[in-house]
Structure 1
Amino acid sequence: GVLAWVGAQPLQFDAKFFNETRKQRSVLEWVRDSPRLGIDFLKVVRNDGSTIAHTAAANNRHNVLEWVRESPHLGLSFLKQTRSNGSTIAHVAAENGEPDILTWIRDCPRLGVEFLSQASSDGSTVAHAATTCGKKSRNALEWIRKCPGLGIDFLQRSRHDGWTIAHVAASIGEYDVLEWIRVRPELGLDLLKQARTDGLTIAHVAAAHNEHEVLQWIRNRPELGFDFLKLARHDGSTIAHAAAEGGGSNALEWIRSCPELDVGFLKQV
């Protein structure tokens, strides 16, 4: 209840905002000073390992993070706690498209770029996380691109399974992110065409996740187009195999109705 209340307050930079800021901190201080709650209650984690710091990061509450940092019984060690999957408060901020929190972390002594660079258990970076936040993704990725110590090299990192930020974007239908990658000269086609070690492309990923609009986006890009859509993985499987394995009826229908691919392509399945 307390955490949900703290996270739900609207962030408006007016008199109400400053009143709410004081209120959020005063609630946490009340919990801390309550004999039957106290610091132990503030340290309670959810089933996924999320702390109040993760909740604050998700809701753009840098004032709460600052309070945690200054608290003698919480502090930086508490801010550095990861969720069960190894994701940090930076991942959570990126997932929610909150560059202000990423800036706060960057400027925080003993956190900084080193903490922002920390990957989760599967190798996901804050860039992979930023790719998943819908319309806010571009702003978050642009922030990473411009951040000294992160930048283009960081955006090009792969997860342990070989997925780039382009694979992640393709898996959730974020063709706006794919377009952002395409028009960045330092990323561009090289990143879009980067396959996993088994030959998995962003087209295979889109097909497996039934994201036919991404397949259409690829088709409409002359630099990619049908030659890219027809690429097979090293085991010979095509985007049609990927769609069938993933139960992607929309993707299969899109392939069927595509003149340049046609039924013959489906018969390879």
Structure 2
Amino acid sequence: MSFVEDARWFTAAPPAAQAGVPGHVTLVGAGPGDPELLTLRAVKALRNARLVLYDHLVGKEVLQYVPADADLIYVGKEAAHHTLPQESIIDLMVRLARSGRSLVRLKGGDCFVFGRGGEEAIALAEQGIAFDIVPGITSAQGAGAYAGIPLTHRDHAGTLVFATGHLCGRDEVALDWAALARPRQTVVIYMGLSTLPIISRELQAHGLPADTPAALVEQTTLPGQRCISGTLGGLPELARAHGIRPPALIVIGHVVALQQHIARGLRAQFV
């Protein structure tokens, strides 16, 4: 595989032989990390790829399905460090497709669950570029299965909510706190580790008891996965005490308390 260190290299004018023949884009969800959780369709797309734009949370094991002579461009975004801004990633995809190059846009989890896949699909559609979408197992599903936390349960959670904990403005997380604090539901918050004190405080202020079971799942479905369980009120201190680092999910709800029962029979995933 050819790793391209500087994605701007591909913004040059295309070869004349390719001009005027648009390429095709395949948006692929790589799943939560474990390469065995890739879908068959995702593996097929990777094996047929000639050019792949991949994100930060896509592991090397997943990239091994890409042919050795294909081009790989890293366009990952980490907290406070973006290789390319989202607008530039979209512009790069459009330029490449217009030049006649078909490509795979590879994202962690699922493209349409906090993966910016919606923005990219809209941009491609507006530019008249053909594309298809390969869904992936989202991180919340992987975390629940590998940690032994059922995201729904007839007796404890009839509603499942996914939310993002990104800051919006100065020390503000723009979420519907009253809706997230409703009883009998599971709340999974992506990208919320840095704002965990705000999340814990606001949910309690809107009626969710401090002793509500909650957990942090770090490195979901990977060999280094850790699941730290506690309560909503104590979660920020648990995160500090255990040195939890991104990527990590926050799971809140009474289903977390079921982990102690399920874990007794849960076979180790990493064999």
TM-score range, shorter chain: 0.3 to 0.5
Structure with higher helix content: 1
After TM superposition, the score normalised by the length of structure 2 is: 0.35
After TM superposition, the score normalised by the length of structure 1 is: 0.35
Look at both structures and tell me which one has the larger radius of gyration over its CA atoms: 1
